[in-house]
Structures are given as structure tokens and as C-alpha cells.
Structure 1
Amino acid sequence: MENKKQGIVQRHSNKFLQLCFALLLLSSFAFFPLCQSFDYGEALSKGLLYFESQRSGHLPHNQRVTWRHHSGLTDGLEQGVDLVGGYYDAGDNVKFGLPMAFTITMLSWGVIEYEEEIVGAGEFGHALEAIKWGTDYFIKAHTQPNVLWAEVGDGDTDHYCWQRPEDMTTSRHAYKVNANNPGSDVAGETAAAMAAASIVFRETNPHYSHLLLHHAQQLFEFGDKYRGKYDESIGVVKGYYASFSGYMDELLWAALWLYKATDNEEYLKYVLEKAHSFGGITWTMTEFSWDVKYVGVQIIASMLLMEEKHKKHKHILEQYRSKAEHYVCACLNKNNVSNVERTPGGLLYIRQWNNMQYVSSASFLLTIYSDYLQASNQKLNCHKGEVGPDEIFSFAKSQVDYILGSNPMAMSYLVGYGPKYPQRVHHRGASTESYKGNKGFIGCTQGYDNWYGRSGPNPNVLVGALVGGPDSKDQFRDQRSNFIQTEACTYNTATLIGVFAKLHGLQQAENGISVSPALIASS
């Protein structure tokens, strides 16, 4: 794996400036520079820092986001379980299991693919901490083989209040899925997260890796045996994280990650045998998100074709690849039909609400797929012509650069990065005076009266958060009440970590900077 990655970095490093020039040509159709110079290492560091802002539970001594403090210390007490910890998903104080698990799966995948680059940026320890904060919570939440606690708090009561997590007086009722009230989607995604994380921790913490794998296998078995959508069992989640795509994509996703983690052919057999009935080779998608995993499944299944031992499964894997490549071609506007829309400034545009989540996930998948094509010496055949790995990667880079400031608003949508970024992020903790500065209790309506309605910037900067972003015309209103554009979510940033790492690694290679073996060993 390391030799493959080193080869890819070396091949790409000499082309880094060529990509920039290619983007410069593309920018002739716009009114802003597409090839600004960005510090991707800084973006990576700030992206990882964001997860510390979203922590629930008892914060550790090395907590770097000092405006946050302990919160949710009685989570699960009402139900007689310890559910302290985990992450708040966005600007509210609810712990939603499905998006939290997807966040950890994507953080883990980024580390698996770009570990060397993350080590080179000096961020490996922080990446592991971000993942472990989630997986430690999942271990607690998986109290029995067929029981998974999937939510703490509920969106309805939470949204009546504008309170720092340190002060919250809203319901902390916990909700579970079990054999009688199934949740195959949340069980499957949590299994995927723990399986992916088990790969991450295999060398640095083998005992923990084994523990995660044990939970992942049990959760997959539970989700597969007792099938059903979790939002049918936990009704309060429907207005927030309803499982529109159903659970079949998560079961395929979990099986693939378990195959990657164990090399057990039974998991691969599951993915191959259920390819048609579960939609893996029948659904053609143009988005990848906390809800819809099909493209992720199709991308990983495609990459299995590189290995000789999978040639015997070529017939089905190539059908997976066909669907994966439809997605890539759609992002590149190379299909005859079913392309992803773009804003005038060139940003992929899926839908109005939190569009950046789809941009960041596309950037990651396109980067991964360009690496795959490069390593296997292949090109992509879209309806509108052949596409090479460099063109795919250059487009992924253009999306990241748009996020960091190459856009008509000259705005960085990664909070705390660059000279101009959103100041009024829709986030309870960031928009309210820090608990460290004022330990006085701030009540439910008091938060709305004294803090939510303020026109000034947030008192605390939510560094590394990727907000919902601009509208279809590249316009952005930096207002706290404009949650469609100014709220950030953990899964927005999670999918960017690997791409930031790769881009930083290429910059380092271009500048002749290599990673020392001592640094890798110390990490």
C-alpha cells in the first residue's frame, strides 16, 4: 500500500502546477481566479480542530478548543446506560447516530488512503483522536449484540431552545434500535464506521482495533438479521435524519468495510450476491451522503478489480464500476443526461439545503477514483469522451479551491480559514458567550433573546467547520438565522480531511519536502 501511494504522489507531484494551469484556462469563463495559492496543510489542521468543537461529554485535558466545556454528562442515565461522549452533529445539541457514524467512516477512510500525507502534515495524532472520540461512544452505545442506542435528545425540543451545550435543559431522552424495533441503516453505518476505524488502529492500537472489529461484526449481523428502517423505530428522527434511501445501501456498505477489515470472503460474497436485489448495481446516483451510500459502495467495489484474486468476480464488479463511473462522469458534466448541476462559479450543486456536504463528498470520491485510475493505468470512458485521472483530480481540486476562496464571493466557506469567512455560523455554542468566560446559566429563551438575534459576529470562531454554502447563483448571506447556508455539520468537514491531506502532500512534494521516517515512527 505504501509503495503504491508513494508512486501515486510522485507521479502527481510533477503535475501539480499543470493542474493549476489547466484550472486557470477553465477560469476564463468566470470572473474570479481559480488558481489561487492555498495552504492545504492549514486547512487540514483546522478541519481536524473542528471536531473538538463538536465534542459531547467530559472534555480531555488536551482539549484545544477552549471555549467549549463538559456537557451531556448525564446522557443515558434516564435509561440506565452510559451514553456520555460522542459528537453533536451540527449547530444543535442532539446526538444523531446515523450522521455521526458516517462522519467516523469518512474520517477513517481518509486516514486509510492518505495516512502518509496526514503524518507528513503532523496531524496523524489529531486524526486518530477525532476518530476515537466517535468510536469510544459507539462502543458504549452498542450495549448488547442486538441493541444500539441511536439518538440522545430530540430535535423538536432542542430547537425550541438556544443554549450552549454546557447549559442545556432540553430532553436527553435516549432512543435505541433492537430486534423488535430494527434499524438496519444505523446499525449498518455504525458497523462500517467501526470496521473502517479498526483498519486505522490496527498498527497503533491492535487491542482496540480488535474490539472495534468485534462490535462491527455483531452490528452487521444484527442489522442484517432484523431488517428495517431506523426512522420507523425512532419516530423523532424523521424530521432531521430520516433514512430516505432505506437500509440496503448501508448493509452493502458495512459488508464491504468488513471485507476490507477482515479479508473474509463471506462479506464479499454478500456484496456480490445482493448486488442486484439490494440496488448496488441497479441504482445510478448523483450524490453521496450520510443517507445515500450507493456511490461509496460502487467506488470501493470498482477498486477491487485491481487485485488479481477478484478477477473471478469481474462480471459483477464491472457492473458496480459502471455505476461508479456514471457518478464520476456526472460530476464532470460528461454524461449525455443526468449530470450534476453547477453554479455559474463552477460549484457542484445538488440541492439548496447544506449543499456543501455533497461538494465535499464528491471531492473525496473523485480524488480516490483518480488515484485508482492512475495506479491501474486506466482512463474513464464517459458519454462525452475519454477522461484521464489528472482531469478528474483537477476538477476535485477546483471544488476544494472554491470552498477555500476561489469563488465569486471571494469567501472561504471553511470557517477560520483565509481573510474572509462566515462570521455568524448557525451554532449554539459558537454564537453564545463562552462557558469559560461566563459560567452563569443561560436559559432556553435567554439564548434566543440575548445571543441568537445579535447582528454582530459570533463570539467564538467555529474553526474548521464547513458551512452549508452558497445558493445556485453563488450568493451567500452570512446571517445566523440563515441556517440553510450558515449551519455546518461534522460530515461536511469529515470528507475533506483526506483531500486536504493529499493536496498538502503534493504541495510538499512540489517544494521538495519529504516525510522523515522518524516522524512516521513517532506518529
Structure 2
Amino acid sequence: MSENSNQLSESQVDFSVKDSWNGGYVGSLVIQNTSSDALDSWSIVVRSDDLDIKDSWGMTATDLGDGTILLEGSGYGASLEPGQTISVGFTASGDAPDTLDIVSPPQDPAPDDTSPFDSDDYAQVLDLSMDFYYAQYSGDLDEDHPIEWRGDSGLEDGADVGRDLTGGFYDAGDHVKFGLPQAYTSTILSMGALEFEDGYRAAGSYNDVVAHVSWVTDYLLRSYDDNGTADLSDDVFYGQVGNPEDDHAYWGAAEDMDMERPAYAITADQPGTEVTAQAAAALASGALLMRETGDDSRADTLIEAAESLFAFSVQYQGTYTDAIPEAADFYGSHSGYEDEIAWAATWLYEATGDEEYLAKAEEYYQPSGTYWAMTWDDQSMATALKLAEFTGDQKYLDDLDQHFDHWLYVVDRLDGTDTNNGLAWIDEWGSNRYAANTAFLALDYAQLLRTQEEDDRADELTAFARDQIDYMLGDNPDEFSYVVGFGDDFAQQPHHRGASGTDHVGADGDNLYDLNGALVGGPDQSGNYVDDRTDYVGNEVAIDYNAAFSGALAGLLDDSIL
């Protein structure tokens, strides 16, 4: 959406059909500026069945992909003086509609200074969010591990295949180590620390995020066996530890597990490109972070493995659930694996400067997530942002603007408050997660826009991001915090085996241990939420939920201290 664009209300637009013929018609819109201020630009979002605009004048038309069209003034129709009326129009194919439904715009973004939270609040929550990751550690823990109720676990992981696969993160409230969301989480944590280092440092959490990335990349290095040869055909990557069905049948602490925990291999004969490419991204982004800390030796090790694993991912392509069918019901790949290849290539280009990686990223890039969100399954919009930074190519900026226009003007918002326009809601399973991911990406894009002197658009995205995070922290109609440990009223029963302190999910009472910093799934489409650990949709916690949420907190904190 154009900078400084003002979205018009239904009362300012009059639609009529001026002419029609078999298979087409001319539509006319009379636009009136009913305000006392000049409009440098204007826009409306309309919805009509089978609207197929072929040509337009006085405006541009952009299909938003969800049955709506974004109309923006251009040429003679670009601006309106106070009280001015103009006529714009279009030709379209199909039958002429009786009317165009104008999608009501959201309220103007809340001004930054109306947030009920300050930098100290964001710093506190960011610090808590880092605690959540310590609670997810698997393996041999240090004696001074920050989470007192956690101990050593999963010490035999990999024994069935004769390889040390200890370490890493448990995925959620369970104890499976799923390769795809784990590698994605590590990549996003690195990205947040690289983009918003000042925010992490202001919260005293920089060393923690570095420790988490180091912990996971250590595990990913152990998961990759190149068999000591330069031949990629004998490479093995262990993309998962733990059978999900067996694991989910057990409710108890990780320290007390006694079920078998099989390791699942990805090979040239059974490729799993989503996982291996995402792991390459995690290793490359982790290398950048380690180099920032001055650990060049560690960074070199990670880059070497990332390059080899990326080459394997490109040479041996195939969807990973064919190699690990047990993951299909939990983390099935819907976007394909091209987005992971492009994503990994951007990180390798940034880490090495090798133009071949940039070419590979552009070759595999597709804007598959334009009308969704950045997730463990689809990183195309995050890739678009990195490619926009690297190349300045307008097509990547256009994809990003279309993505954020969708979130700002089309995605439904839950009820907000006097200081919050409400949570942007797209799905019930992890509704907070999607909004937090988009908030993180919006803050990162806002940084790029400021370098291009598009401050108004950057402010708009920052205000949106602040609304999303503030809603989760308690600026919502229920004054409820979806972050364990923050605020006066927060989730007491996140769906988490270890924190529950029980051997049955349905046991009465709140969890025995506070899973501080965990972001629970969130409200349903009506804004309802029940603090009940048996509700694994609304009360789930997961490593991918917190990854971009942590980065967004650092971004808001970074923005507040500039």
C-alpha cells in the first residue's frame, strides 16, 4: 500500500455501472473527500464475487488473493483536496454486480505513546522468554541450569543408530525433537539477535539467546554425519528423535521417560529437503551470530557444515515426510521445500558473500506465504525481506507490501481496547504465534523502510506490531496475559508435561511449576480463551511460538531506545 495512503469509508464512495455488454462492463466510482484535510493518496478494499478488472483509470487495482481487491488512487485520481469529488473507473469481464462491498478498514493504528507498556516491560518479558527455552533443553544440563525443576534427560538419544544425538530442544509440551521446527526456531532466534541486538542487550538477554542458538546448532552438528567423505551420496542427517505417537501417549517429566526414542534418518535415497535446508539455514545464521560474538572458529565450523548440508539439500530433493512419515500429522509440509532452499541460500549468501547463493535464492524464491504468515513451514516472506535488502529489487518490496496490506487491512481483528486495535487473527491453532511472527517481520521491514525514508509506512507497521505484542501481554478486553509469569493475571495451565508436575493431563489444579516466558497458543476466533491444560489448541506452547515473539520484543525494545 502506498505511503501516506488513507483508506476511505463506504460513505465516501459511490459505485455504479455505466455500460455493459455480453461478457463485460464499465464500472464507475465517485470518490469524495469529506474531510477538511487534503488527501495525498487514498485507497479502498472492495469485495465482489468474480470481480475481474482488466483496465482502470484514476486508480490502480491489486488482487489481494482472498476475494478482495485493493484500489488506490493514481494519476489524476491520486490526491483529493478537501471537499473535492472525482470520478474514476474500470473495465471488467463477467456480469456487472449490483454493488461493490467495501471492506471496513481498521481503526487508525494506536499512537506509539498510548501503549500501556514501556521498555522495562518489554525487557522483562524478553528475559522471561529466554527462560522458556532453558526449560526446553534436552540432554546433559549444567549444574547451574537456570530452571531448577529441570534435570538431565534424553541421554540415550541416538543410541539406536550409534550416534550421539543428545541435546537440542524438546518441541513443545512433549518430548519429541522434531527437526523442522527446531531448525526454524534456531534460525529465527539468530535473526532476532542479529537484527535487534541492542534490544536483546538492553534486556540483559543477549548472552541467553546466543546460548540457545549455540545449544541447538551443537545438536544440529551432531545430527549431520558426512561420513568423512566429500561424496554427498553417503551423507546422513537425523531429522527427528522420538516417535510422536509413543511420546504423546506419555504424560510426565522428560527426566522420567522410559519409552524407546528412535532416531529418523534422512539420506540420499530418502531425502528430506525441508529439514536439511532449514538446518543449513540454522547453521549459517548461527555462524553469523557466533562471528558477531567474536567466536570465529565456531562460526567457521558452522559455515562448513551449512554449505555441505545445503549442497546435499539441492542435490537430493524430496519432501521430508516421505523419509519421516511419523512427522506428517504433526509438522507436515504444506508449502513444499523450495521456500526452505531459498531461505537457506539467503543466509549462506549473507554469511559467505558467494553470489551463487544469491542466485540460488532468487531461483527458488516464490511468494507462497503472501496471504498467510511466516511459520516453520513457510519462510517466503522472510526470504523476500532478505532479498529486498540484498538486491533492492522492487518485486520483493511489492510482495512484502502486499503481504502486510493483507495483514493490516484484510485479516480480521479481535476486539481491542482504547489503546489497542486488536489481535490480527488467522487461525485458532497458535493464533498468538501467527500474529507474533508477523509483528517480528513487520518490525524488521520497518527498519528497511526507514533507510528508504518511508517513515510513515514504517510507523504504520511498528504500530501494528506493537498492537500485536501488547495484546498478548494483557492489553486486551480481558486484561489477561498470554505470557506465563508476566502481569497480574496470566496462564497457569499451559499444556506442558514437565511444568504440570503431574502424571495426568487432566489432573486438577494449576501447574506445579511456572513455565516462565512461554507464550500460550491464544484466543479463538471470538476472542475466547480457557486456561486449561487439556485444551492443547489454545494452551499449547512450542519453541516456534516463542522464536519470533522474542525477536519482536527485542525489536520493540530496540525501537524504544533509539
TM-score by length of 2: 0.76
1:243-281 deviation line (CA, Å, top 9, x unaligned):
111101000001111111111100011122344xxxx25
- Using the TM superposition, give the Cα deviation of residue 164 of structure 1 relative to its aligned residue in structure 2, in angstroms: 0.6
User: Which residues of 2 match residues 20-31 of structure 1 at below 5 A?
Assistant: none
Higher mean alpha-carbon deviation, 34-43 vs 191-200, is at 34-43
User: Which residues of 2 match residues 108-507 of structure 1 at below 5 A?
Assistant: 108-144=190-226, 146-203=235-292, 204-275=294-365, 280-281=366-367, 284-306=370-392, 317-333=393-409, 339-345=410-416, 346-378=422-454, 388-432=457-501, 447-448=503-504, 452-507=505-560
CA contact (8 A) 2:138 2:154 kept: yes
Which letter does structure 2 place at the counterpart of 1:401?
D
- Using the TM superposition, give the Cα deviation of residue 388 of structure 1 relative to its aligned residue in structure 2, in angstroms: 1.6
Higher mean alpha-carbon deviation, 35-44 vs 391-400, is at 35-44
Question: Equivalent of 1:36, from 116, 126, 148?
Answer: 116
- Using the TM superposition, give the Cα deviation of residue 295 of structure 1 relative to its aligned residue in structure 2, in angstroms: 1.0
- Using the TM superposition, give the Cα deviation of residue 79 of structure 1 relative to its aligned residue in structure 2, in angstroms: 1.0
CA contact (8 A) 1:83 1:141 kept: yes
1:436-464 deviation line (CA, Å, top 9, x unaligned):
xxxxxxxxxxx12xxx2222110000011
Secondary structure of the 1:87 match is coil
Aligned-partner Cα distance in 1 for 2:426–2:114: 21
Aligned-partner Cα distance in 1 for 2:108–2:408: 16
Aligned to 1:336: none
CA contact (8 A) 1:425 1:488 kept: yes
Aligned-partner Cα distance in 1 for 2:433–2:369: 21
Which letter does structure 2 place at the counterpart of 1:330?
H
Aligned-partner Cα distance in 2 for 1:378–1:506: 16
**Residues 281 and 484 from structure 1, CA distance in 2 versus in 1: closer, same or farther, beyond 3 angstroms?**
closer
- Using the TM superposition, give the Cα deviation of residue 492 of structure 1 relative to its aligned residue in structure 2, in angstroms: 1.0
1:369-412 deviation line (CA, Å, top 9, x unaligned):
11110122136xxxxxxx62111101101101001000122111
Secondary structure of the 1:464 match is coil
Aligned-partner Cα distance in 2 for 1:281–1:104: 22
**Residues 127 and 283 from structure 1, CA distance in 2 versus in 1: closer, same or farther, beyond 3 angstroms?**
closer
Which letter does structure 1 place at the counterpart of 2:269?
N
Q: How many residues align?
A: 441
- Using the TM superposition, give the Cα deviation of residue 34 of structure 1 relative to its aligned residue in structure 2, in angstroms: 6.8
CA contact (8 A) 1:425 1:480 kept: yes
Aligned to 1:76: 158
Aligned to 1:521: none
Which letter does structure 1 place at the counterpart of 2:257?
M
Secondary structure of the 1:37 match is coil
Aligned-partner Cα distance in 1 for 2:108–2:355: 47
Q: Which runs of 5+ in 1 are unaligned?
A: 1-22, 307-316, 334-338, 380-386, 434-446, 510-523
CA contact (8 A) 1:152 1:173 kept: yes
**Residues 274 and 424 from structure 1, CA distance in 2 versus in 1: closer, same or farther, beyond 3 angstroms?**
closer
**Residues 141 and 207 from structure 1, CA distance in 2 versus in 1: closer, same or farther, beyond 3 angstroms?**
same
Aligned-partner Cα distance in 1 for 2:560–2:451: 20
What RMSD over aligned residues (CA atoms) do the two structures have, in Å? 1.9
1:458-509 deviation line (CA, Å, top 9, x unaligned):
0000011111001111110000100101111111111122221232244445
Aligned-partner Cα distance in 1 for 2:309–2:303: 10
Which letter does structure 1 place at the counterpart of 2:175?
N
1:216-247 deviation line (CA, Å, top 9, x unaligned):
11111111100000001111001101111110
1:404-428 deviation line (CA, Å, top 9, x unaligned):
0001221111111111111011100
Aligned-partner Cα distance in 2 for 1:148–1:503: 37
Secondary structure of the 1:462 match is coil
Aligned-partner Cα distance in 1 for 2:325–2:437: 28
CA contact (8 A) 1:285 1:295 kept: no
Aligned-partner Cα distance in 2 for 1:355–1:377: 32
Aligned-partner Cα distance in 1 for 2:364–2:168: 32
**Residues 295 and 507 from structure 1, CA distance in 2 versus in 1: closer, same or farther, beyond 3 angstroms?**
closer
- Using the TM superposition, give the Cα deviation of residue 350 of structure 1 relative to its aligned residue in structure 2, in angstroms: 1.4
- Residue identity (%): 35
Aligned-partner Cα distance in 2 for 1:151–1:274: 25
**Residues 464 and 475 from structure 1, CA distance in 2 versus in 1: closer, same or farther, beyond 3 angstroms?**
same
CA contact (8 A) 1:408 1:474 kept: no
1:53-76 deviation line (CA, Å, top 9, x unaligned):
000001113311111110000000
Aligned-partner Cα distance in 2 for 1:172–1:325: 44
Aligned to 1:314: none
Question: Equivalent of 1:61, from 126, 134, 143?
Answer: 143
Secondary structure of the 2:238 match is strand
Aligned-partner Cα distance in 2 for 1:503–1:365: 12
CA contact (8 A) 1:342 1:472 kept: no
Q: Which has the higher strand share?
A: 2
Q: Which runs of 5+ in 2 are unaligned?
A: 1-105, 227-231, 417-421
